[in-house]
């Protein structure tokens, strides 16, 4: 889908309200949930850079991320294991 001059991807999934935020009137996933979902498709350096930027911008904390990926609904998501591994040494 294209809105204005930007391509917009719409994904469908069961997402808890705690992983939803509103940006410019649109429901979308929080930065943390977005990073978790993208993690399997990014190379390590790219993911590290994104996580570092999110932490610097205070979009989430290491503790927030580790708590989120440990919740039961995230155990089967591939990105959870990747984020847990990445942040366990942070």
How many structural domains compose the chain?
1
- pLDDT the model gives residue 20: 96
Residue 12 to residue 60: CA distance in whole angstroms:
23
Residue 64 to residue 13: CA distance in whole angstroms:
21
Question: 24-81 pLDDT, tens per residue?
Answer: 999 999 999 999 999 999 999 999 999 999 999 999 999 999 999 999 999 899 999 9
- pLDDT the model gives residue 45: 97
pLDDT of residue 90 exceeding 60 = no
- pLDDT the model gives residue 9: 79
Q: Average pLDDT in the 12-26 region? A: 91
Q: Which domain holds residue 53?
A: 2-88
The structure tokens listed for 70 are 């440990």
């Amino acid at each position: 889908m294209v809105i204005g001059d930007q391509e917009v991807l719409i994904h469908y999934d069961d997402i808890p309200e705690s992983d939803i935020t509103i940006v410019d009137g649109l429901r979308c996933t929080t930065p943390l949930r977005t990073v978790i979902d993208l993690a399997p498709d990014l190379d390590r350096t790219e993911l590290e850079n994104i996580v570092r930027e999110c932490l610097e911008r205070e979009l989430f904390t290491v503790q927030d991320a580790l708590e989120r990926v440990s919740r039961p609904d995230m155990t089967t998501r591939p990105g959870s294991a990747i984020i847990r591994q990445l942040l366990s040494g942070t």
